[in-house]
Amino acid sequence: MLRIAHLVDTTGPGAVTGYLDFLSRDPVMKAFAHHDIIRVPRGNPGARQIQADIIISHVAINWRALPGLMLARARNAGTPIVHVEHVHSAGYVAHNVTARRRFQTLLRCAYGLFDRVVAVSDDQATWLRGRGLVTAQALSVIRPCTDLSAFRALPAVAGRVRSFGLIGPLERQQGFDIAIAAFRSLPDPDLRLTIFGAGSQADALHQVAGNDARIRFRPAPGTGTGTGTGTGTNPAAAVAQCDAILVPSRWEPFGLAALQARAAGRVLAVAPVDGLRDLAATATYVCRGRSVRDWAVTLAQMADTCVTIPLRHPAEFAAERATRAAWLHLMNGLAGETLLQDPRLTA
C-alpha cells in the first residue's frame, strides 16, 4: 500500500487540522494509502527524516522555512513532493505584503522545489498562474473537505433568521470585527450573534462587542470535523445553534466554514474575496463590499429573510467524493499506476 507523509507545522484545531483528519481517516482515502501526519517544527520542515512514497507539505511558506524546504527536497531527491497552499492568496498579499516582488521571488523559489502545487480554490489557482508563480503543468486544484455527514444531519432551518454565527480563529484574517460592528448597528433586540473561537484578537473583539447583550462568545470548536476534539463544542453543534453563518474574511484561500454551513443548510453570507468567490453561486448572500456598512446592509437583509425552502445545495452532497477523486487522480499520476478503482468515489 502507498505510504503518504503529510507534513504539518500547526497543531491547534482549525481548518487544516480538520482537513488532515479527513484525509487520514476517510475510508476511501485509507483504501489506497496509509496517511502519516508528521508534525514538523514551524520554520524548519526539513528537520525530520521522512520515509514515504509521496510527501505532501501543508506547511506555511516563508523565508524562515525556505532552507528547511530545500533540506527536505535534498533528503528526498527521489520522492515526489507535493505542496498544498493553505495560506497565500491575492487577498493575503493585499493585506500583508509590501515588498511584493521579493515575496513573489520567495514563492517561485519555494514552489519550484515541489513536483506539484495544489491550490485549494479556482480563484487561488488563477492568482498563482496569473503571477507566474506556478506553471499550469505543475498546478492542480483540490478543494478541501471534511466529513460533512454531521452537518447534513442537522435539522434544516425554517422561518426568519434570528441567530447569526461566526466560527473560526479569532484572528485579523477572519474579519470578525467587521461583522460584529455591523451587527451592533442592527436595532432588533431579538437578534443574536454567537462567536465560536479563540485567538490573539479575543480581547479586541470583546471591545468591539462592547456591552451589547445580544452578542455571546463561546469556546473554539474542535478539529473542523463534525465530531471535533477541541475544548469547545464541535463544529456541527456550533452550526446547529445558528440560523445563519457569516464568513467576512479579509482574505480566504478557500473557506471550509462556508462549505460546512452550506452542507448544514444554513443561510450563508460570504465576503467577495479569494476562494470565497468559488462559493458565490450557492451562498445565500455575497456581501457587495468589505466595509462595516456593507456588512450592515447584508445583515439587515438576512434578518428580513424568511426561510421557506430547503437551503442545502446538491453540490454539497458530492463534496467529499470530489476531494477523494481529485487526490486519487493526483496520486495515480505521481505513482505512475492506477492505485484504486472504488465505487465509493462515484457513489
- Give the pLDDT score at 343: 46
pLDDT at 311: 64
6 and 36 Cβ atoms separated by less than 8 Å:
yes
Q: What is the pLDDT along the chain (347 residues), one digit of tens a residue?
A: 889 999 999 766 677 888 999 999 999 898 888 999 999 988 888 878 899 999 999 999 999 999 999 999 999 999 999 999 999 999 999 999 999 999 999 999 999 999 999 999 999 999 999 999 999 999 999 999 999 999 999 988 888 999 999 999 999 999 999 999 999 999 999 999 999 999 999 999 999 999 999 999 999 886 444 444 333 468 899 999 999 999 999 999 998 999 999 899 899 999 999 999 988 777 789 999 999 999 999 999 999 988 766 566 555 568 899 999 999 999 988 877 666 555 445 44
Residue 279 neighbours by CB under 8 Å, 6+ apart: 255, 258, 259, 262, 268, 270
Closest of 262, 269, 259 to residue 289, by C-alpha: 269
Integer Cα distance of 176 and 298 in angstroms: 14
* Per-residue pLDDT at 233: 61
- Alpha-helical runs (H) found in the chain: 15-25, 27-32, 66-75, 90-96, 100-111, 122-130, 149-152, 176-184, 202-209, 235-240, 256-263, 292-303, 319-335
Look up residue 169 and give its three cell numbers. Answer: 480563529
**What's the confidence (pLDDT) of residue 13?**
61
State residue 338's pLDDT score. Answer: 60
Rounded to 5°, the CA angle 235-237-243 comes to 100
H helices of 60-158, in order, are 66-75, 90-96, 100-111, 122-130, 149-152
- The pLDDT value recorded for residue 11 is 65
Q: Residue 10: its pLDDT value, please?
A: 79
Residue found by looking up cell 520515509 in the block: 51
- pTM beyond 0.85: yes
